[in-house]
Amino acid sequence: MRVLVTGAAGFIGSHLVDRLLTDGHDVAGLDDLSTGRLGNLADARRAGGLSFSRFDLLSGDLAGLVAKERPEVVCHLAAQMDVRRSVADPLHDTRVNVLGTVNLLDACVRAGVRKVVFASSGGTIYGQPTVLPVTERAALHPTSPYGAAKVAGETYLGAYRALHGLGSTSLALGNVYGPRQDPHGEAGVVAIFARALLARAPTTVYGDGTSSRDYVHVEDVADAFVRVLGPVGDGRRLNVGTGTATTVRELHRLLATAVGAPDEPAFAPSRLGELQAVSLDSSALRRATGWTPRVPLVEGLAGTVDAVRREGA
């Protein structure tokens, strides 16, 4: 199948490109390299079969590019992915995450794309859920411009489906971690702790360490995208997480163990707007596609530490 991945040079996008190529798909990648790195696509370039374009989602020529690439499915991961930056500069976030998405959906309709798979955010669209793990039926209460833009993206997918018959699935991702991870993303704390612990630099836990997140490995996330390329999950949002909440204090302990460093973080007051706890119920995705998270957290963190060690070497 011909698949276009937006945000292909980013953390999750590049792993998805690798997985699609391994599965024998014909892959086109688009990225403006604002946070993504061409180095993330080194394996894909070695494997062959990837056509990459440095391109801005907001470009007036996007429709021309999508028409030229003629993908059957578009996996839309390009985004401004820093929640704190969305608070500091909500207009920039809206431009990339809302207008960029609308520009892409328009281009997809014109090019006759069958389906768009959208990277939504289970960690922000529900706000602080009252019941954990949260299911797709929970009310949407984003508390940041970033979360609001993800809800807007999902809403536009629904509108384009109704108007133009464009197929779509939104994957509401947990806190994604793994090799190539950027410290600024939603699960950036894994990269921040891993780098600091390897350098024997001080680490800081904000709050009392009890706030918790659903950490899901990037290869499991790529697997979820691959499983919904067909008609499965059409018109739906599906959560992608492990269902387990890990506290930031426990995460620090696991990473310190993986590094072989002392587990002695400093503590600082919690940051404004931080949620206390999120974990995602992914049973709808499991029922629809058979997906289940395969990488245990301890193993995934050890692999991430090894990758950070190699990058620094």
Q: Give the residue numbers annotated as catalytic, written as ranges.
A: 146
The amino acid that residue 37 corresponds to is R
Order of strands across the sheet that contains 167-173: 50-54, 26-31, 2-6, 73-76, 115-121, 167-173, 236-240
Of the candidate residues 3, 44, 78, 148, the single one contacting ligand NAD (CB under 6 A): 78
Sign of CA dihedral 171, 176, 179, 181: positive
Nearer to ligand NAD, 123 or 303 (CB): 123
Q: Of residues 174-193, which lie at the interface with ligand NAD (CB under 6 A)?
A: 175-176, 182, 185-187
Nearer to ligand NAD, 79 or 205 (CB): 79
Contact range with ligand NAD by CB under 6 A, out of 42-50, 103-111, 171-179, 289-297: 171-179
Nearer to ligand NAD, 160 or 215 (CB): 215
* Binding flag, residue 197, ligand NAD (CB under 6 A): no
In the three-class reduction of DSSP (H, G, I as helix; E, B as strand; rest coil), residue 6 is classed as: strand
Number of residues lying near ligand NAD (CB under 6 A): 32
166: burial class by Cβ within 10 Å (0-12, 13-18, 19+)?
Answer: buried
- Give CA angle at 249 (243, 252), nearest 5°: 95
**Binding string, residues 102-141; x marks residues near ligand NAD by CB under 6 A:** -----------------x-x-x------------------
d(CA 241, CA 175): 8
The amino acid that residue 28 corresponds to is A
Of the candidate residues 5, 18, 31, 285, the single one contacting ligand NAD (CB under 6 A): 31
Of the candidate residues 100, 147, 178, 233, the single one contacting ligand NAD (CB under 6 A): 100
Residue for token pair 């960690």 = 123
* Binding flag, residue 234, ligand NAD (CB under 6 A): no
d(CA 73, CA 85): 30
Show Cβ contacts of residue 236 under 8 Å, excluding neighbours closer than 6 positions: 136, 169, 170, 284, 288
Of the candidate residues 173, 245, 251, 278, the single one contacting ligand NAD (CB under 6 A): 173
Q: How far is the CB of 260 from ligand NAD (least distance, A)?
A: 26
* Binding flag, residue 33, ligand NAD (CB under 6 A): yes
* Binding flag, residue 79, ligand NAD (CB under 6 A): yes
In the three-class reduction of DSSP (H, G, I as helix; E, B as strand; rest coil), residue 187 is classed as: coil
Q: How far is the CB of 253 from ligand NAD (least distance, A)?
A: 21
Which phi-psi region, left, alpha or beta, contains residue 243 (left: φ > 0; alpha: ψ -120 to 50)?
A: left
Task: Let me know: does 96 contact 140? Beta carbons within 8 Å.
Answer: no
Of the candidate residues 3, 7, 160, 280, the single one contacting ligand NAD (CB under 6 A): 7
Of the candidate residues 5, 28, 35, 211, the single one contacting ligand NAD (CB under 6 A): 35
Q: Which residues bind ligand NAD (CB under 6 A)?
A: 7, 9-13, 31-36, 56-58, 77-81, 96, 100, 119, 121, 123, 173, 175-176, 182, 185-187
